[in-house]
Structure 1
Amino acid sequence: MKRRELLLRSGILATSIILGCSEVKEEGNMEIYDGEPKINGGEPKVYVIKTDNRREGIEKLLKYFKIEELKGKTVAIKANYNSDDPFPASTHPDTLDAIAKELERVNAKAVLAERSGMGNTAAVLKNRGVFDILARHGFSAVDLEGHNRWVRIEAEHWKRGFLMADIFYESDCVIQTCCLKTHRFGGHFTLSLKNSVGMVARHAEGHDYMKELHTSEYQRYMIAEINIGYSPHVVILDAVQGFSKGGPESGEIINPGVILAGNDRVAVDAVGVAILRLFGTTPEVSNGPIFSQDQIKRAVQLGLGVSEPEEIDVVPVNDDATEICSEISSELVKRS
């Protein structure tokens, strides 16, 4: 055995022992190992700031999430770069810049990882300015289309489990930022739970994971199940604008003018759905209690967050957010 191959295999074995993996499987240059679910419901508070200044707004929101504790830690950033389309289809440049600036300030070790669903990931990241933004703060990005190390996590509605990029599974923490959008391809809405799809492999072991997802009658349950693979330090939902219909790459624009932050994905997504309903949205998103929405219902079953809307505390960060926070709280508890 060549020395390089021996070192590689030794490294794989060491990682397997540390993580308690039962097996590391090599498929070409792809390594796949078994992992355990990481389920953490977070706190039921969702902080809301009324602003169109993302840099100032995100700086204020992150103060509620002990960002200083991330000093020296590895941080995986999951943004929303599903397609090569501007905000609200993709993460706004100022949002990414604000997050990266705060991580640089506390000397965190950050990397953004992404797999686009509607376009070439490398081209999307380049055209959306991601590489340049991260480079200004000393960080980098990983194109998951060419990634070679994945964690298999078993889930009820996935035929063979799903493969999550090791970057999200092994990092000290994950920061996610998503947009406010409906989804016309079966997801119904794409907020924090749905944004996690970009952490998962498209194709491996001769199996098309994304085809399985998008053709399944359990698509929305499967979306929620992806989220057992990690627990976020914080989720930032940029709802300065959003798509109330259409989506995910284009749609009918609305202007809520707010940014949300929380670490309970059920609470964050429930608040996001409430905002969509306040501004008028699709029948699929409008029908029934918010907690009867399939993504949210399955996430509750999995223990990913609050179990009922009354548990959610919608907190205005500035006076301008008080009115919409009151409206969101009322919308959350509606039963029809």
Structure 2
Amino acid sequence: MGMAKVYVHAVRADGSVRELSAAIRAAFLQASDDLAWLSPGDTVLLKPALNSGDPYPSTTHPLAVHAVAAVLADRGADVIVGDQAGVEAVVQDSSGSIKGSTADLYAATGMAGDGGLTFIGFEQEGWDRGYSLFPAERTPSWPNGFYYTSVVDRVDHIVALPRLSTHSQAGVTLGFKNWVGILRDDSRVEFHAEGPFYSFVENAVKGTSLTTDYRNRDVFFRRMTEIALCVADKLRATLFVGTKAQLTFGPNAYAVHNSYGGLGEAYTITPDPGCVFASSDPVAAEAVALAILTDMYTGVPFTKKLSWKAALFLNGQAQELSEQSVWENPFVVHALALGLGSRDIKTQYTAVPDDLQQRLDAFIRAGRPAEAGPISTG
């Protein structure tokens, strides 16, 4: 693959809604080649991060949804917003919906706004009718394939709108983790079974003859990354609004909700300046998102990191942002192996302070594979 461009726009912490909207529009149009791929009447799916009803930055910034939708509608697109929330909030099986509604959470986060956009909670589409099988022969780590929303098959283009956040199980939740929301719940539960916190079981039976090495721990991250294979042909851009970020725990405001609020509260910052960035290459977008998160994480007070460090120790699979390079992140490693994007990145900055540019480029440059070409900035 050739050089992948990532467009990064700085936005003031005290800037207006108009300024943020302008940055979103500019980054999106740059990353999408001024919508050269769009024809009037095409249907575009916007895939936000809607894991819960918690507001931004636990979920996608509402303005990211509405500003991108407005650009597309102005060019004649039919726009759909769609997702399915996590099983803590919404559960479905073959008998139908058991609890929760993603549409209700869409409203609770503020993404719905005045209700002018068409929204689909994927669980509303039905267990059999609403999902398609992505076959095992096309996904190396899913022996039985996986089920994804058939909305993907019905649209012409897809735009991903994640947010910047750490994640209690996966370490981070960025562009690739965002695709978990298109899975049917049986597939979602299946890959989580390979996830962290299995060490509690291993420790409980240590010293016995019981076999505990059932799994390849890398499968958890590989399966999540491979979900992107079913959208790769239609994915046109990935755009982040980074005016806030969660830097511990996540994806929700609390790792565990309870009647007192919750345990494992995500440490949230409002950087100044914040940023909006986008790319047509999902690996490049992920790499820059990791660089930005890592830069922000260096400023988290040590006292706020302590419980997060303990959680990661128990996790056993995910790494702290400061402990691995952008290119060692398991999502990036496997995405490159799958050919989902490029390892050669050109960052184009608008109004980003020089010192921040230098720090981000240093994070992107550090630990890059030997075969990668030089990083380019503009």
TM norm. shorter chain > 0.5: yes
Q: Please give the root-mean-square deviation of Cα atoms over the aligned residues, in Å.
A: 2.0
Contact 1:194 1:224 in 2 (8 A): yes
Give the whole-Å Cα distance in 2 for the aligned partners of 1:152 and 1:163: 4
TM superposition shift of 1:144: 0.8
Name the one with the larger helix percent. Answer: 1
Equivalences for residues 202-281 of structure 1 within 5 A:
202=185, 208-216=186-194, 217=217, 218-231=219-232, 232-250=235-253, 251-256=266-271, 257-280=274-297
Contact 1:169 1:229 in 2 (8 A): no
Residues 293 and 106 (structure 1), Cα distance of their counterparts in 2 relative to 1, 3 Å cut:
same
TM-score after normalising by structure 2: 0.70
Give the whole-Å Cα distance in 1 for the aligned partners of 2:165 and 2:118: 27
Query: 198, 201, 204: which is aligned to 2:181?
Result: 198
Give the whole-Å Cα distance in 1 for the aligned partners of 2:366 and 2:46: 34
TM superposition shift of 1:321: 4.9
Give the whole-Å Cα distance in 2 for the aligned partners of 1:42 and 1:94: 31
Give the aligned partner of residue 22 of structure 1.
none
TM superposition shift of 1:265: 1.0
Give the aligned partner of residue 144 of structure 2.
160
Equivalences for residues 250-329 of structure 1 within 5 A:
250=253, 251-256=266-271, 257-280=274-297, 283-306=319-342, 308=343, 311-316=344-349, 318-329=350-361
Contact 1:47 1:261 in 2 (8 A): yes
- The unaligned stretches of length 5 or more in structure 1 are 1-40, 203-207
Question: Stretches of 4+ moved more than 4 A in 1?
Answer: none
1:179 partner SS = coil
Instruction: State the identity as a percent.
Output: 24
When structure 1 is superposed on structure 2, of 172-181 and 143-152 the one drifting more is 143-152
1:51 aligns with 2:11: yes
Give the whole-Å Cα distance in 2 for the aligned partners of 1:79 and 1:228: 18
TM superposition shift of 1:288: 2.8
Residues 242 and 335 (structure 1), Cα distance of their counterparts in 2 relative to 1, 3 Å cut:
same
Give the aligned partner of residue 102 of structure 1.
71
2:248 partner SS = strand
The alignment of Structure 1 onto Structure 2 pairs a total of residues equal to 283
Give the aligned partner of residue 115 of structure 1.
84
Contact 2:166 2:248 in 1 (8 A): yes
CA deviation map 1:196-221 (0-9, x unaligned): 1101111xxxxx22221112132111
Give the whole-Å Cα distance in 2 for the aligned partners of 1:322 and 1:63: 24
Give the aligned partner of residue 162 of structure 2.
178
Contact 1:77 1:111 in 2 (8 A): yes
Give the whole-Å Cα distance in 2 for the aligned partners of 1:223 and 1:245: 20
Give the whole-Å Cα distance in 1 for the aligned partners of 2:335 and 2:54: 28
Contact 1:42 1:263 in 2 (8 A): no
TM superposition shift of 1:68: 6.0
Give the aligned partner of residue 124 of structure 1.
105
